[in-house]
Amino acid sequence: MFDRWFSETVAGCYIADFERIFFNRFPIRNGLQVAVQAGMGGWLKPSGTWLCNVRDFYMEAGVWAWADESVDILLMPHTLECSGAPHITLAEAYRVLKPEGRIVLTGFNPYSLWGYSKWFDGRLLPAKKHCLPLPTLKENAKALGFEIAFGQFMVYVPPFEHERLLRLCRFMEAAGNRWWPHAAAVYGLVLHKHVAGMHILPEYEQALQDEREMILGMARIKNRTG
């Protein structure tokens, strides 16, 4: 239901423009990757090469049917706060990601001007209590084993409902990014599931499956403690 706010309100469309630019910075690297978008199928305009929740399937965020280590890249536009259980959803995302997989996500900053607006009532947008502060999200991600690969803040104008007011305050985007970045309405984050070991390069993975089998023995890695 939150999808409509991004496509049918002036404020939602304003934020959606920034987020589309952010997500487009991270395209699929090759045609062999399994890419899944979890939620928000309308305003983000997912690529036809992506599997997209609601458009191609329906799955609750906290209980995904994907097999362990089956997905290369996850697009999660506000998926954590929309799920109602962000910690469980993040853990599920880690489970389904392949080693060296990544998550590209966005979330509302509860400590911004937008976070204190009337929209975060659980009807137009997720309830504020479900919006994770960025430091909390980073701590949870690192606890699961993710590495922070990239981060970006977006949208510093006040939460106006009129297009003219948003245009008049557009100068605040550059000023906010320079002087008060942590007060942005939205943050974007790229999480990397780095796993020590050997991984077949994507360009050779299909060739190995089609032409011949390869038998590998796993070596024991002795840690510093013995």
Paired residues of 57 in beta bridges: 53
The candidate with the shortest Cα–Cα distance to 14, out of 25, 23, 6, is 6
Confidence (pLDDT) at 216: 47
Residue 156: inside a domain, yes or no? Answer: yes
Q: Is residue 221 part of a domain?
A: no
Q: How far apart are CA 86 and CA 88, in angstroms?
A: 6
**pLDDT score for 97:** 93
- 71 domain-assigned: yes
The pLDDT, as a whole number, for residue 185 is 93
Residue 170 sits in which domain range? 3-198
CA distance 76 to 37: 6
Whether this model's pTM surpasses 0.95 = no
Confidence at residue 102, expressed as pLDDT on a 0 to 100 scale? 93
Establish if 189 belongs to a structural domain.
Answer: yes
220 falls within a domain: no
The answer for residues whose C-beta is within 8 angstroms of residue 15's C-beta and 6 or more apart is 6, 154, 155, 185, 186
Helical ranges in the chain per DSSP H: 3-8, 10-24, 79-83, 86-96, 134-144, 163-168, 172-179, 202-211
Q: Is residue 215 situated within a structural domain?
A: no
Which pLDDT score, from 0 to 100, does residue 113 have? Answer: 85
Residue 148 lies in a domain: yes
Residue 225 lies in a domain: no
Beta-carbon contacts of 14 under 8 Å, excluding residues fewer than 6 positions away, are 155, 157, 166
Question: What tens-digit pLDDT sequence spans the chain (226 residues)?
Answer: 688 888 889 999 999 999 999 998 887 666 667 888 887 767 777 666 667 666 666 666 567 778 888 888 899 999 898 888 888 899 999 999 999 899 999 999 998 888 888 888 888 888 888 899 999 999 999 999 999 999 999 999 988 888 888 888 888 888 777 778 788 999 999 999 987 765 566 655 555 555 555 444 444 444 444 4
Number of folded domains that form the chain: 1
Query: For position 57, which CATH number holds?
Result: 3.40.50.150
